[in-house]
Amino acid sequence: MKRSIRFITILLFAGSVVLYGQSTTELPNAPVPMMESSSSSNRLLTATANTSQVSPTPAPTKHRRWLTTYNGSLLTLVVGETIDSLGTYKNMTHTKWICGFDPVWPTGGYAISTGDQITYNADDVKSICGVSPTGMQPNYMFDVTQTDSFTEAGWAAKWGLTGNRNFAGVEAWNLGNDVAQALLAHYLHKKGGWRGKVGTAMNYCRGIGHLWYGLDNFRYVSQNRTPDEWVNNNSKGFTNWPGPYWWGKKQ
């Protein structure tokens, strides 16, 4: 009797252990209560999470465009005026006297123009011409400006606002005119539309014009470097006067 009771007790104990193991492995975990989506705290957490996950987008950077048609017109005007000024200076400050020696006038002094001969004091001729490269004393000189050589032919000289050999006067008028035009072009540019295009075109046209005339001055000076070159290029204005020729002093 005691053995049967002991055996039943062992069976009950073993069965309870088996059932306990099954219950601990098969029963699901208790669900975690979820927060209602409508709660204010949930909305706050959701907004915070979204904000932390999305990186801020930087504002677009505005770059100033310097390479524009209008700025190009200003650059053209400045470059053209610079070339024109240099060419005009080379032309207008060139010596205007071609000096020579003629054995017909062994002691006399003459200034030869396109229309007549003007008697000069021999000392004046010598002071302007100096001694020839071969050592001879000059007895005549020819004013090349009589044929409009090395003179200003632009609007300021044509209108009598300054002399055709006065570089400072010509340059002052040119710069003043360019500044006035640039201000007018800037005003039209601010207006925009077709008026802005007109202002830009004005700068381009004047700048290209300056460039053209400046290069033309350089060309003329380079083609008349010596008196002999000038005589060959201006045969109608200087004839029947023998060499040697040389440039006199700058006047």
Percentage above 90 pLDDT, the chain = 35
- pLDDT bucket at 234, cuts 50 / 70 / 90: confident
More confident: 147 or 12: 147
Domain membership of residue 63 (yes or no) is no
3-state secondary structure of 132: coil
pLDDT, tens digit, 9 for 90 and up, residues 174-219: 999 999 988 998 888 888 888 878 888 998 999 999 999 999 999 9
Domain membership of residue 78 (yes or no) is yes
What is the C-alpha to C-alpha distance for residues 131 and 31, in angstroms, rounded to an integer?
121
Total domain count, the chain: 1
Domain membership of residue 110 (yes or no) is yes
More confident: 215 or 153: 215
Domain membership of residue 13 (yes or no) is no
What is the C-alpha to C-alpha distance for residues 12 and 235, in angstroms, rounded to an integer?
145
CA dist list (Å): 125 to 107, 149, 178, 226, 242? 11, 20, 41, 19, 17
3-state secondary structure of 120: strand
Helical axes 193-223 vs 69-92, angle rounded to 10°: 30
The DSSP output letter for 198 is H
Q: 112 pairs with which residues across the strands?
A: 117, 142
pTM assigned to the model: 0.69
Neighbouring residues of 126: CB distance < 8 A, sequence distance ≥ 6: 109, 137, 138
pLDDT, tens digit, 9 for 90 and up, residues 33-53: 554 445 555 555 455 545 555
Pick from 101, 94, 98, 143: which is nearest to 122 by CA?
Answer: 101
Burial label, 245 (beta-carbon count in 10 A; 0-12, 13-18, 19+): buried
Domain membership of residue 1 (yes or no) is no
Q: What is the pLDDT of residue 69?
A: 84
Contacts from 70-74 at CB under 8 Å and sequence distance 24+?
70/189, 70/196, 70/199, 70/200, 70/203, 72/204, 73/185, 73/200, 73/201, 73/202, 73/203, 73/204, 73/207, 74/182, 74/203
- pLDDT bucket at 220, cuts 50 / 70 / 90: very high
More confident: 110 or 170: 170
Phi then psi dihedrals of residue 109, to 5 deg:
-135, 130
Residue 3, pLDDT > 50, answer no
What is the C-alpha to C-alpha distance for residues 85 and 93, in angstroms, rounded to an integer?
12
- pLDDT bucket at 236, cuts 50 / 70 / 90: confident
Domain membership of residue 241 (yes or no) is yes
Domain membership of residue 125 (yes or no) is yes
Neighbouring residues of 77: CB distance < 8 A, sequence distance ≥ 6: 178, 181, 182, 203, 204, 206, 207, 210
Domain membership of residue 119 (yes or no) is yes
Domain hosting 78: range is 69-147+154-247
The DSSP result for 235-250, as a single string, is TTTS-S--S-EEE---
Q: 221 pairs with which residues across the strands?
A: none
